[in-house]
Amino acid sequence: MSRAFKIKAVVLAAFAVASVVLMGVILSSMQDKLSVDDCTSDIRYEMENLPGLLAAAGEETAQNTETFDAVYQSKAASVAFMANNNVGFAATDAKMAEYKDLLGVANVMAVDRAGTVVARAQDTRADFSYERYNQLRTVFDTGEPSEAVEVEFDDGATRLRYYAARIDDSLMAVVEQDPAELYQLVEETGSLSSVLGNVSVGQGGYVFAVSSRDYLVAYHPDEALVGADALDLGIDVADLEDGAFSWMTVNGESLYCGVSKIDDTYYLSAVPESELASSRNLTVGVILFVFFSVLAVVILYGLFVMREDEKRGHNPEDYANLGPVRFNKPVGRKAIVLSFVGFLAVLVATFYMQTLFSLSTVSVNAQERAATIEEGMARTNEQAAALTEQYNERYLSKAEVASYVLDRNAELKDKDKLQELADVLQVQYLYVFDGEGVLESTNSSYTNFVLSEDPAEQSYEFCKLLQGVDFVIQEPQPDEVSGDLRQYIGVTLHDAQGNADGFVQLGIRPQRLATLLESVQIDSILDGVKIGAEGFAFAVDKTAGTFAYHPNAELVGRAATSYGMTDAQLKNGYGDYLTVDGKTYYASSFETDDYYVYVAQPEGELMTERVPLTVATGVSGLVCQIIVFLLVAFEVRPRGRAVADTAALGGASGDGEGKRVVDVTMPDGRTAKTESAASRWIYRSLGWGDKTAEQRVLTVIKVLVSIFALAVCAAVLFKDAVFPPDSVFAHILGGNWERGLNVFAITACLMIACVVMVITMLVQQLLRLLASVFGARGETMCRLFSSFIKYVSIIGMVYYCLMVIGIDTTTLLASAGILSIAISFGAKDLVGDLISGLFIIFEGDFRVGDIIQVGGRTGTVVEIGVRTTKINDGSGNIIILRNSEVSDVVNMTKELSYATCEVGIEYGESLERVENILEKEFPNIRRRLPAIEDGPFYKGIVALADNSVNIRIIAQCLEKNRGQLERDLRREMKLIFDEYDISIPFPQVVVNQPKEFLEATLAEQMRADRFNEQQKEASRDIGNEEEDER
């Protein structure tokens, strides 16, 4: 290995490393920018929605508090009403205990102006004489129930809330209640944890809060960090600026954050760098691997060729001088092809991976939006259910109070008193029905009403109260008359003997519930949902199959399948491309009770991200490829005149190459190296030193492909550990995408191909190891299993790939049955040719450039087609054979071909004399026939024919010279026999032979024996004994 070669190899290796590093930096920086841009968009979306979420939570807290207080104010007012309306009130502990059970509160008390407890249901810790309870005493001045007074007692573990209502000028009713229910409700619906805990940002992101006053963490998904000092966790105060985006380190974790300052709190929407890096690293890694593989192949091929050239001696004809440098033509011609193909491979890999990266980003965003919408709908429905349950419980208690009051004072059933009671109970209407279901009295303007006996009518349900049922709570529903959402609750009334005697009914309009239910309507939820620049959400009615909501109002109410969607796309968990009104979108879906909801982003937005990075990668790769090509194909001209080493030019590059690697002539006239036919079916790979540059490069490519396949196989087998659950690769492996020719199907086919290839390769290697251990029968079985596994894996892989691209394999199998019938009726030859062609290609019995013999016709294979095989017989004639007729093939591909000459001599001729003459003349024949590469050789007697003894002479030559050399050999043998008076019999049966022949002398006999043995030894490895048998 020369010093110049070593220097060039080091330079190329250094440039390759630098190129890969540079490309990695370029790809990572651009991918980071794309990831950060997408992340910024996601964070900005959450930041824009955050004030609304916090405001809604604040309103929810205020409404919950107001509602809670109003309920217990009403309970206190109910006690005061009963005290003032002859309902059996008495300021005794027993009566207070009765009211406590009736109202469902912790304690009921009668308290005078001074704060003295006159009567109580149970003991209380409150001392109402303290000034902190002055708010309760305002009832004496206003006549209205007091605001709530909350007291936390000394132990800090008890917190109670008090409500008061005026009984008279000196006495008030006080209700004591534990507000735990209120605070639990606030925690579930209005706290920071309830709001921010349901917010997700991008891939694995979240929102946390920091106080702007003391920089303590007010909320964080990791509860251990709540209350910690944000500055101690690593946050820089300078980064806490409203609307700022920056990288922060929080508790050792790198985060990309957007900051929103709302009131006295900083809200940080954060995405972990590890989440961004996971998708980036996969994309960059695949592109870099392809780029590295291309560089490695081009560089190694150039080095391999230059090393071969150096070993056999430089041939000046291989170089073109260009001033101080020279161009290596053999290297340059192939390197430029490899570089161009590699450049295309890098472009395709970049575009393909960027497509998957963009889809992954869009998929995550779409799934996030879909999850947000779904969670919002679920949360609203839960709130509606909880609110309905609260209404049911609270208003049932109010109805029971009304029943209690009316049972004890029937005079209160007039309109004015009912209105007063309704105001106390904070309900809109009270209806009193008699035992026949006839409306007896009400504070509403709607009179003369009788319960319906029609089960379809709204009022029919309350007939149960006339049959002894204690109460009926009807679900909120539109009123039959006004259409407004109303709820009715009824409780049985009793006569003096305690028997059921009609019922009292509350009519309420749950305004808060109505507002909440309006907000859960599909158009209210989806209106304003935005993803990317032009993405949106729409819904399809599950029953009717029509658009329930779409930004284009003209589509609402129309069939989705009439505007591009398919029935297969109307399902839960859909994640793929779909077409709506002529435009293609990538969409994710989820299912509600009534709708399929889709979050869609236009396909064009994906292209805006793919193209810039693909172009940048292509330009960078092209520059690197050009530099590599220049380094490989050009070199500094050596000083002095370069002279070819003719001795080296005729030599072989390795000892084994002359046996296992041979030259073949390709159809276009090129000379290429290939492995000899005899060595292709042995379980032993060609030694590295015996391989040509092309074969070494193919080995390198196989290694690189194997590494890639192993990596893909490992990723598929351990997908849960490798791919995030919301990534596009997990989506592809999950199979929840539309079958058809799309990027998901292509990726799935690549993955399964890699898995099948790795498994097949491992099994075949195992069989090779077993074959080396067992005997002939074991090797036979191993080869059979290896071939069987190869075909099964190919057929199974093709079947799977056809299935994932949308071809109905069941129909395909049925079609195969029809095809078999067609074959039997006339397409037999055509299909037979096609199948035979596939087997020829898969089995590799022969290749283009091989020398084969088929049915007595010998030639060089110039083309293996799907239906026919073409061979050149060496005379310019092309023999076209149908593939089904290619049988009994003899693959004669080896380093040199054989030219054979058979000649007959008279039976009376001395064989020893003839052999002596051949020994003397063979060197002359070699000199006269330059086409002979080795030989000629005497192979002995091949036949005792009817009128002659046939002997064979062979010589090794190039295949292209074989036909002419055989003719030349026959001419030489005729001239030699004529010169030495050796008769060649006529082609006839000889009855007698009067001619006298010369006898061999003893010396000639001895020389003949020695010559015969020498020729046997010399031609032992190059004989064609199989032709003797024919």
Residue 759's pLDDT is 87
Nearest Cα residue to 267 out of 531, 33, 49, 36: 49
User: CA 27, CA 35: separation in Å to the nearest integer?
Assistant: 12
Residue 286's pLDDT is 83
Non-local CB neighbours of 490 within 8 Å, separated by 6+ positions: 399, 433, 462, 465, 471, 472, 503, 504, 505, 506
Name all contacts of 551-555 with Cβ < 8 Å and 24+ positions apart: 552/581, 555/580, 555/581
Residue 505's pLDDT is 93
Residue 576's pLDDT is 78
Residue with the bigger pLDDT between 936 and 874: it is: 936
Neighbour-count burial of 76, counting CB atoms closer than 10 A to its CB (0-12 exposed, 13-18 middle, 19+ buried): buried
Residue 738's pLDDT is 67
Q: Which residues pair with 602 in a beta bridge?
A: 585
With 90 as the cut, is the pLDDT of residue 30 above it?
no
Residue with the bigger pLDDT between 484 and 499: it is: 499
Lowest mean pLDDT among 397-401, 679-683, 811-815: 679-683
How many residues make up the chain in this entry? 1030
Averaged pLDDT for residues 449-459: 88
With 50 as the cut, is the pLDDT of residue 555 above it?
yes
Mean pLDDT (the chain, rounded): 80
CA 125, 130, 132: angle at the middle one, nearest 5? Answer: 95
Residue 755's pLDDT is 86
Go through the domains of the chain in sequence order and give each one's CATH number: 654-689+839-895 (2.30.30.60), 692-807 (no CATH), 897-1029 (3.30.70.100)
User: What sign does the dihedral 733-735-737-739 (CA atoms) show?
Assistant: positive
With 50 as the cut, is the pLDDT of residue 649 above it?
no
- Helix, strand, or coil here: 479? coil
Among left, alpha and beta (phi > 0; psi -120 to 50; other), residue 423 is alpha
Residue 646's pLDDT is 41
Q: How confident is the model at residue 123 (pLDDT cuts 50, 70, 90)?
A: very high
Nearest Cα residue to 55 out of 320, 329, 263, 275: 263
Residue 261's pLDDT is 92
Please give the model's pTM, rounded to 2 decimal places: 0.63
Give the H or E element holding residue 667: none
**What are the pLDDT digits (tens) for 695-729?**
788 888 888 888 888 888 888 888 777 777 666 67
Averaged pLDDT for residues 612-626: 82
Q: How confident is the model at residue 130 (pLDDT cuts 50, 70, 90)?
A: very high
Angle between helices 911-928 and 1002-1018 (to 10 degrees): 50
**What are the pLDDT digits (tens) for 239-283?**
999 999 999 999 988 999 999 999 899 999 998 887 777 667 777
Among left, alpha and beta (phi > 0; psi -120 to 50; other), residue 775 is beta
Residue 836's pLDDT is 65
How far apart, in Å, do the first and last CA atoms of the chain sit? 50
With 80 as the cut, is the pLDDT of residue 158 above it?
yes
Residue 1028's pLDDT is 39
Q: Which residues pair with 328 in a beta bridge?
A: 319
With 50 as the cut, is the pLDDT of residue 1025 above it?
no
Could you give phi then psi for residue 705, rounded to 5 degrees? Answer: -65, -40
Q: How confident is the model at residue 113 (pLDDT cuts 50, 70, 90)?
A: very high
Non-local CB neighbours of 426 within 8 Å, separated by 6+ positions: 70, 74, 398
Averaged pLDDT for residues 452-480: 86
Q: Which residues pair with 109 in a beta bridge?
A: 120, 174
**What are the pLDDT digits (tens) for 789-846?**
877 888 788 878 877 777 766 666 666 565 566 555 555 566 666 666 666 666 666 7
Q: Which tokens sit at 384?
A: 């509606």
Torsion angle, alpha carbons of 747, 750, 755, 761, to 10: -170
User: CA 655, CA 381: separation in Å to the nearest integer?
Assistant: 82
Residue 219's pLDDT is 92
Q: How confident is the model at residue 644 (pLDDT cuts 50, 70, 90)?
A: very low
Residue 161's pLDDT is 94
CA 65, 67, 70: angle at the middle one, nearest 5? Answer: 105
Give the H or E element holding residue 438: none
Q: How confident is the model at residue 863 (pLDDT cuts 50, 70, 90)?
A: confident
Lowest mean pLDDT among 3-17, 20-34, 682-696: 682-696
Lowest mean pLDDT among 153-167, 176-190, 335-349, 471-485: 471-485
With 50 as the cut, is the pLDDT of residue 785 above it?
yes
Residue 650's pLDDT is 42
Strands 253-262 and 245-250: antiparallel
User: What sign does the dihedral 389-392-398-404 (CA atoms) show?
Assistant: negative
With 50 as the cut, is the pLDDT of residue 221 above it?
yes
Averaged pLDDT for residues 84-109: 93
**What are the pLDDT digits (tens) for 758-780?**
888 888 788 777 776 776 666 66
Give the H or E element holding residue 141: helix 139-142
With 90 as the cut, is the pLDDT of residue 105 above it?
yes
